[in-house]
Structure 1
Amino acid sequence: MAVPSSDIPLPDKPPKVFDRDAEWQALVTFACDSRPEARLGLVSGRLRQGKTYLLKALTRSLGGFYFGAQQGTQSESLSQLAGEFARYTNASPPPHWHGWEDAIDDLLALGDQRPTPIVIDEFPDLVRQSPSLPSILHSAYRRHDGGRPGRARLLLSGSSLPLMHRLFSTASPLHELSDLHLTVGPLDYRQAARFWGSDDPGLAVLVHAVVGGTPAYRRDYVQDDAPAGREDFDAWVCRSVLNPGKPLFREAYHLLQEEIDHKDRALCHSALSAVATGCSTQGQVADCLGAPLTDTARCLGLLREHRLLHGAADAFRPSLVRLRVAEPLLAFEHAAVRPHRSALAQQDAVTVWKHARPGFDSMVARSHFAQICRDWALHFADPDAFSARPRSVAHGSVADPAHPGGTDLAAEVVVRGHGGMRNGSLLSVGLARWDEVMDLDHVERLRRLLDLLSDRGEDVSRTRPACFSGAGFSPALRAAEAQGQVVLVDLDRLYGRA
């Protein structure tokens, strides 16, 4: 891709846009590109992540055009677009377009005089109405390439990830035209802590285990109600997340309703419940559901396609794919709340949460803490924490010959670097314990795991044992850290406060 050029000062990010510095820089660089050709960009991301907020801020800052598509017919959408176009251009009456060819030509003409961002939000809704629209766009850009110069900067945005992927895959005619592929994802766990105003890292973990990094859940779904401290967390869950008067109460249901077709929805709910409560492989989910493996595989594939489930290869058994719920609110709902939904209609939230809280602690908070530890190791660890830059971080498990048919030895945080056998050199194996004070016994467990790996031919000569804890470490373990025997990571270190 050619390097964009601009003689237009790039606007500063508006103060109301939290973080998103990299996303804003990418958008304004694209929008202010002064090359004399129409450009095309893609902005994708799941619902509630702030795509629309960013794109409206961009068009306001640069005097661009914004149109938010809706589900409907082609004629209705063209009429709505014509009305917005007329307001933007101060034209009266609105243009009467015979089809999308006319509309696209007029939109691209908005950039005849200067680089102009033109946003069509929820573009997939228009494609469902008009399947030929991608080809019409391709033809319009080809006409502009061979005709008059223009500086339209068309941004197509959408939250239907499977359709956006198909529209802009390497097999799509639009792929070769697009200069920008931007994904707006959830805030990472450190950004989310700042966004929710959580000064206590322990509270930040708990809040993130419920709502993740989705910005809309604070602004629009609980009306800026954030827990005042860890002692207020339970009350906050009751007054915000389990309160039928707040939009967040039914959000997990709506997420699946918006993403998944009705015929698959019931099985998908059950599959999410299975994964959220500890079934981490396709076979385990099928056994839990009592469903044929083919039906389970199709359901899990659908959830992964919509980015509601993540799958990652086991660090020691690459053929084994381990699943986890991608959206924390869905994991919270399906592991902690869904078993008590009927009680919420009959009892107050405080009483129900007392019964639900143990499930949250044992399944949701523990597994979520382990994922935060993996994120830290991959994205935030100091360069010297593991002696080399990590390439991948995953859960890993090994069968223990001392316990045939028994529980595998597992490590929640397995760090690999570049080179070496299998998936890369083994830099570290770590245990993550949300609510345990860790001791030398945990290091002995890791050493046993390393012995098993060595017997299988893995080079563990430079592998560092690591312990991650939300409750702290014993003095003996701290002494082992001082002697260089183990890497210790507590909440302050996870959140960059150590």
Structure 2
Amino acid sequence: MSRASGPAKPAGTFDRDAEWRALAAFAARTAPRAMLGVVSGRRRMGKTHLLRALANAASGFYFGATEATAAETLRQFGAALAEHVASPVPFTFATWDDAITYLFTLGTSGDQPVLAVIDEFPYLVRVVPELPSLIQREIDKYQSQANRLRLLLCGSAMAMMGGLLAGNAPLRGRAGLELVVRPFTYQDAARFWAVDHDPRLAVRLHAVVGGTPAYRTQFLDDDTPADLDDFGPWVCRTVLSPLTPLFREARYLLAEEAEIRDPALYHSVLAAVAEGNTTRGGIAGYIGRKSVDIAHPLTVLEDCHLLVREDDVFRTGRTLYRIAEPLVTFYEAVARPAWARLEAGEAEAVWQRSAERFAAQVVGPHFETICREYLLRAGPEVFGDRPVGEVGVGVVTDPARREQIQVDAVVLAPGSGGRRRRVVALGEVKWGTVIGARHIERLARARDVLVGRGFDAEDCLLLGFSAAGFDPGLRDGTGGGSAVRLIGLGELYGQRPTAARS
């Protein structure tokens, strides 16, 4: 048998069930050949916690690299290996070639899998560029010779980790596991921060810190807002306070990516997106560059998982960008413009003057992202028996009225070859506005225009998302031939949506 369930997840670890199952199963595979796994994810996601726990449970070898020269890291690696095999003296390897060769010999004896973890792998690659090639040689060598080493490489530099298995990289095609440890979903984050009882607070909190677990445990020592009234004071004493590590975290997220050579340019790109400039042309205009000049920064920010590119589902070739890390959006929209005042300890004054900006540039756009995430996971309670494929955004051009209709949430059926694309749902999202009949009528107009363009949208759902509520009369209104569903904060955090009469 080549697969097993592996050790149980350590007590006290919140969520991460799927990640732990994947790691434990990889470590327990018994096939007589060397295997490679790659684990990545932004910092503060808990990767090291999982890997240390796995190494302890499996009696495996764990090495956490540091920023050091090739010679120093080689000495550290030799000392760690010697300690693992209970050698009375540290190993002295002449080269990294010797060290990797020895590492793989750990899997040549016995009939049980042997786990080895190299954490912060990008630190090593920066000073030992040939390391992936050395690992590739050993992996290939032990495909035909008995070896049960299970090697996990882990790192937080997303661009570098993403390139390990891409293109013509030495390790391409060698990995039996490629795991990205992602932030908690908005619902899991609410439970983790113990604010799931108040969706109004949960959305605001998630718009600031997202789903990064370390921000609560390591950065803030479990300081969470007590209630909605405490949210503003909490922001002032944490993310806007120069006395907490969270204050400069957004800057560090950018600085620790090796591919970023000009931080000022990249911060300007992120600031442009935070201001609502979501197209390439809009971003270029905001920072005073030509569109062609920002192609590389946009690509790097995507590779670093700081920007997400979303294609307009109705307009081929139109690309929209949004910031992937909520803390970066908050920093660019609220903290960075008032940085000097914040460093001077004026958090309360800055926060009071940022209320409108926070609502318009931080919470509002983030609420749209949450609603689309909800639709990705929604089931028959929303869609009935309609098949769900892609969830995105789109702009519908209405030539008759000479206007463009922005659709905040679009759900499409899975691709159907030569048949016309089926639109499952069109959604309007409002953070601070009560949704009324005019919003549903606007969606109905978009639906009619799409039908005229050849889309299969006649019976698509019309969805209204609002944190401020709904016009009471809307529940008795019509959707112009389509079913209408109204989804509020309660539904987003676990309750069932309301079906309006069509």
Q: Indicate whether the TM-score tops 0.5.
A: yes
Please, which moves more after superposition, 297-306 or 359-368? 297-306
Q: Report the Cα distance in structure 2 between the residues aligned to 1:138 and 1:346, rounded to whole angstroms.
A: 52
Aligned to 2:293: 295
Give the corresponding residue for 2:499: none
One of 468, 472, 477 as aligned partner of 1:475 = 472
1:400-457: per-residue Cα shift (whole Å, max 9, x none)? 33564xx621110011012357994101111000111211111111112222222322
State whether structure 2 residue 444 is matched by structure 1 residue 442: no
Distance 2:482 2:6 in 1: 48
The yes-or-no answer on 1:98 pairing with 2:78 is no
Letter in 2 for 1:437: V
TM-score where L is the length of structure 2: 0.93
| Number of the residue aligned with 2:20 | 24
Q: Percent identity of the aligned residues? A: 42
Q: Which residue of 2 aligns with 1:72?
A: 68
Structure 2 spans left out of the alignment, 5+ residues? 497-502
Query: Is the alpha carbon distance of 1:462 and 1:187 closer, same or farther for their aligned partners in structure 2, counting shifts above 3 Å?
Result: same
Quickly say closer, same or farther: Cα 1:443–1:142, change in 2 above 3 A. closer
Counterpart check, 1:462 vs 2:462: no
Structure 1 window deviating more from structure 2 (128-137 vs 183-192): it is: 128-137
Aligned to 1:158: 155
Structure 1 residue 251 displacement after superposition = 0.4
3-state SS of paired residue (1:175): coil
Alignment of 1:87-126 (within 5 A): 87-111=83-107, 112-113=109-110, 114-126=112-124
Q: Deviations over 1:259-311 (max 9, x none)?
A: 25564211111111110111010001111111122222222122112111001
Tell whether the 8 Å contact from 1:431 to 1:467 is kept in structure 2 after alignment. Answer: yes
Aligned-partner Cα distance in 2 for 1:464–1:86: 63
1:389 Cα deviation from its structure 2 partner: 3.1
Change (3 A) 1:93 1:232: same
1:380 maps to 378
Give unpaired runs (5+ residues) of structure 1. none
Kindly indicate whether residue 422 of structure 2 is the aligned counterpart of residue 432 of structure 1: no
Residue 218 of structure 1 aligns with which residue? 216
Does structure 1 conserve the Cα–Cα contact (< 8 Å) formed by 2:312 and 2:393?
yes
Residue 39 (structure 1) aligned with residue 35 (structure 2): yes
Which residue, out of 277, 280, 299, partners 1:279?
277
Which amino acid letter does the alignment assign opposite residue 183 of structure 2? P
Contact map agreement 1:264 1:299 (CA 8 A) in 2:
no
Q: Is the 8 A contact 1:336 1:357 kept in 2?
A: no
Question: Which whole-Å CA distance do the structure 2 matches of 1:318 and 1:391 have between them?
Answer: 18
1:140-194: CA deviation from partner (whole Å, max 9, x where unpaired): 22333344x2221110111122222222125333233211111111111111111
Contact 1:383–1:389 (CA under 8 A) maintained in structure 2: no
2: CA distance, partners of 1:153 / 1:486: 52
Question: CA contact under 8 A between 2:64 and 2:120: conserved in structure 1?
Answer: yes
SS in 2 for 1:259: coil
Q: Residue in 1 aligned with 2:500? A: none
Structure 2: distance between partners of 1:54 and 1:169: 25
Q: Is the 8 A contact 1:481 1:487 kept in 2?
A: no
Q: Is the 8 A contact 2:40 2:155 kept in 1?
A: yes
1:177 equivalenced with 2:179 (yes/no): no
Amino acid at match of 1:465: L
Contact kept? 1:47, 1:159, Cα under 8 Å: yes
Deviation of 1:380 (Å): 3.0
* 1:124-273 to 2 correspondences below 5 Å: 124-147=122-145, 149-169=146-166, 171-198=168-195, 199-259=197-257, 263-273=261-271
Q: What is the SS of the residue equivalent to 1:408? A: strand
* Count of equivalent residues: 491
Q: Is it true that 1:321 corresponds to 2:319 in the alignment?
A: yes
* 1: CA distance, partners of 2:492 / 2:362: 18
The alignment status of 1:414 with 2:382, answered yes or no, reads no
Give 2:82's aligned residue: 86
TM-align CA RMSD: 2.0
